[in-house]
A and B are shown apart, each in its own frame.
Chain A
Amino acid sequence: MMAISNGSATGDMPLDDVQFGNLIQPLMERAYQVAYQVLADREAAQDAAQEAAIAAWRHRGQLRGPSFTSWFLKIAINKARAIRRRRWFTVIRSTSLAEAGRQAAGDPLDGVADRLDLVVVLRRMPAADRITLLLLHAMDMPYAEAAHVLGLSERGVRSRERRALLRIRPLLEDAQP
């Protein structure tokens, strides 16, 4: 049901639902972010995070990999890819007007023009490259854990990171003080 291909086993953790919930809840946002890179759709990404939480709960006895976080994010990516394959997520999606209003309320960050160009370039990257950067540079995940999430070797992660950074370098170099 769930593909865990590499990483060392950290053993069977006898978690009850409260402990499990406490572990998972702070990671839901990350799972959603990662799933969003695959699906480019908020609701579908939320579904993927939910499904990942349930799958993780069901398979909590098989927890493996360098960390709980990487194990869970790996499940989230798998769920997002499964949803993407189903292509059900192309069926009508509706968004609340309230939320559209929230989006219109303004960006909390200032001086954003260059950063936004960067966002556009990042959006155009393959999802796998975007996820790699997200794990390493937004979630501060160590290479070993990112490797587990992505199903790559550490060297593989480094070379993918290098390739992705190369693409955005011109936009980052503007940031020289």
Chain B
Amino acid sequence: MNDLARKRLRAALEALTPPAEELIIRELPDSTRRRRLTEAIAIAAACTLAVAAVGSMLWMRSLSPASAPATQVTPRLPAQETPVPRPSPSRPPVPGVVPSPAGRSPAPAPRCHTGDLSATLRPLNSAAGQRYAALSLANRSGHTCRVYGYVGMLLLDASSTPLPTDVVRNANPGPAVVSLSPGQSAFTVLHWTVVAGPGESQTAQCEPQPAYLEITPPDETTQLMVDWNMQFVCLHGRIDVGALSPGTGPDF
């Protein structure tokens, strides 16, 4: 390898990773002295807090049909008390745990679980580099259930390897409780671009071709898979998505 090749390789390797947003170590669990004992206490405390947090989340969910948006509950620094959904400046004002707009309805339908739903992905009309598709979730169970909020998505290639995916939630339409009788559907429109952005190939395809889309229904932790029979997704897999609305979506 000559110097130019070396430089080029280095630049490409550095371009592989998007810039990080937060990599500050906030707080380390304890100090060096009294390490073993404090560590044991910290671990025990973290476990207790985690149990308490999960308990209170379950309790809060049972109170209201409008539950918190599904968010990664990744263990952060043990000093943090509860697995709080990560705040994001752009996230639309999603009501976390509030009564549903319908007020105090007598017996709210249970949340639709992944197993209750089937997903369909349908391409819509495209325009000048912009692509749209309707993603609908149909209630295939024998009972009424409800969905509230946004789906999670991950693009996969033909060997089911995750591809860069950047799901951006639109504030409009915002989350609303959608009650689904058996057979009924809720939908959202996906939007993405096939025009390469900065940091992507301007001459060749910007991102790898997806083969599947993995969908996480709101508040669920398991996924549905649908085939992705459309083009690749530029801007590092950025897909704009609204909250689920009643129906199967527009015809074109």
Contacts and interface: CB of A to CB of B under 8 A. Distances in A.
B21 A42 contact: yes
Contact of A97 (B77, B90, B167, B204): B90
A77 B151 CA distance: 28
Nearest to B205: A120
B9 A118 contact: yes
Interface stretch (A2-10, A62-70, A148-156, A168-176): A168-176
A105 B111 CA distance: 41
Interface in B1-46: 1-2, 4-25, 28-32, 35, 39
A19 B70 CA distance: 37
A54 B90 contact: no
Contacts of A175: 2, 4-5, 7-8
A99 B168 CA distance: 11
Interface string A42-65: 111111011101100110010000
A16 B32 contact: yes
B8 A118 contact: yes
A176 B2 CA distance: 7
A122 interface: yes
B152 interface: yes
B1 to A, nearest CB: 6
Given A40-B162, A92-B151, A106 B198 contact: yes
Given A16-B32, A47-B74, A57-B28, A96 B16 contact: no
Interface in B66-83: 69-78
Interface residues of A, number: 77
Given A92-B151, A177-B2, 15 more contacts: A28-B25, A32-B17, A33-B17, A54-B29, A92-B150, A95-B238, A98-B90, A100-B168, A103-B198, A109-B11, A115-B11, A119-B199, A122-B16, A130-B16, A134-B16
23 contacts: A15-B32, A16-B32, A24-B25, A28-B23, A32-B23, A37-B16, A46-B23, A50-B77, A90-B214, A90-B216, A91-B72, A93-B72, A103-B235, A107-B198, A109-B15, A113-B201, A115-B11, A119-B16, A134-B16, A137-B13, A172-B1, A173-B5, A176-B5
Interface of B: 1-2, 4-25, 28-32, 35, 39, 69-78, 86, 88-91, 150-154, 162-169, 196-208, 214, 216, 221, 223, 235-236, 238
Query: When A and B form their complex, which 6 residue pairs have the shortest distance between CB atoms, in order from nearest?
Result: A92-B152, A116-B201, A138-B13, A118-B12, A28-B23, A97-B90
